[in-house]
A = this chain, B = another copy of it.
Amino acid sequence: MTRTRLTDVACSIARATDLFADAWTALIMRDVLVGITRFDDIAEDLEISRKVLTVRLARLVEEGVLSRERYQQRPPREHYVPTEKGKELFPVLLALMNWGDRWYSNEGPPVRIQHLDCGSTTTAVTTCAHCQQMLTIDNTTQMPGPGGKLGPGTSVIGPLLASRRGHP
Contacts of A155 in B (CB 8 A): 30-31, 34, 36, 45, 111
Q: By CB atoms of chain B within 10 A, which of A46, A126, A152 has the most?
A: A126
Contacts of A58 in B (CB 8 A): none
Task: List which A81-98 residues lie within 8 A (CB) of chain B.
Answer: 82, 85, 87-98
In whole angstroms, what is the CA distance A82 to B12 when docked? 21
Chain A 29-50, CB-CB to B under 8 Å as 1, else 0, gives 0110111111001001111100
The reply to whether A146 and B116 form a contact with Cβ atoms under 8 Å apart is no
The residue that A127 contacts in the complex, of B1, B108, B120, B132, with Cβ under 8 A, is B132
The reply to whether B139 and A113 form a contact with Cβ atoms under 8 Å apart is no
Given contacts A17-B23, A47-B152, A110-B148, contact A124 B115 (CB under 8 A): no
The residue that A148 contacts in the complex, of B16, B17, B111, B126, with Cβ under 8 A, is B111
Interface residues on A, range: 35 or more
Contacts of A128 in B (CB 8 A): 115, 117-118, 120, 122, 124-125
Contacts of A23 in B (CB 8 A): 3-4, 6, 17-18, 21-22
Q: By CB atoms of chain B within 10 A, which of A13, A44, A146 has the most?
A: A13
6 tightest Cβ-Cβ pairs between the two chains A and B = A12-B100, A108-B146, A16-B100, A91-B126, A107-B147, A118-B131
> What are 17 sample pairs from A and B whose C-beta atoms fall under 8 A apart?
A4-B47, A6-B27, A11-B110, A12-B101, A12-B105, A16-B97, A16-B99, A16-B100, A20-B21, A21-B25, A44-B152, A94-B135, A111-B143, A112-B143, A117-B133, A117-B139, A126-B127
